[in-house]
């Protein structure tokens, strides 16, 4: 399988999805900081709780 590395090869909607996911993550971390809760992320195939 050939990987597409340059962004020029990706359709515009795929790039928009990536931007939206990064923006949602930023808002989730901000909300978790406000309420003093953990953010759950996947690292090395496991779900772990992190302090934002």
Q: With respect to residue 6, please indicate whether it lies within any of the assigned structural domains.
A: no
Q: With respect to residue 2, please indicate whether it lies within any of the assigned structural domains.
A: no
Q: With respect to residue 42, please indicate whether it lies within any of the assigned structural domains.
A: yes
- Residuewise pLDDT in 10s, the chain (52 residues): 566 666 568 888 998 999 999 999 999 999 999 999 999 999 999 999 999 8
pLDDT of res. 49? 95
Q: With respect to residue 4, please indicate whether it lies within any of the assigned structural domains.
A: no
Q: With respect to residue 36, please indicate whether it lies within any of the assigned structural domains.
A: yes
pLDDT of res. 8? 64
pTM for the whole thing? 0.68
Q: What is the 3-state secondary structure (H, E, C) of the chain?
A: CCCCCCHHHCCHHHHHHHHHHHHHHHHHHHHHHHHCCCEEEEECCEEEEECC
Q: Provide the residue range defining the domain that includes 26.
A: 11-50
Q: With respect to residue 5, please indicate whether it lies within any of the assigned structural domains.
A: no
Structural domain total, the chain: 1
Q: With respect to residue 28, please indicate whether it lies within any of the assigned structural domains.
A: yes
pLDDT of res. 4? 61
């Amino acid at each position: 399988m050939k990987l597409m590395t340059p962004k020029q090869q990706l359709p515009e909607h795929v790039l928009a999805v990536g931007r939206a996911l990064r923006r949602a993550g930023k808002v989730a971390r901000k909300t978790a900081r406000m309420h003093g809760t953990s953010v759950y992320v996947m690292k090395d195939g496991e779900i772990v709780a992190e302090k934002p």
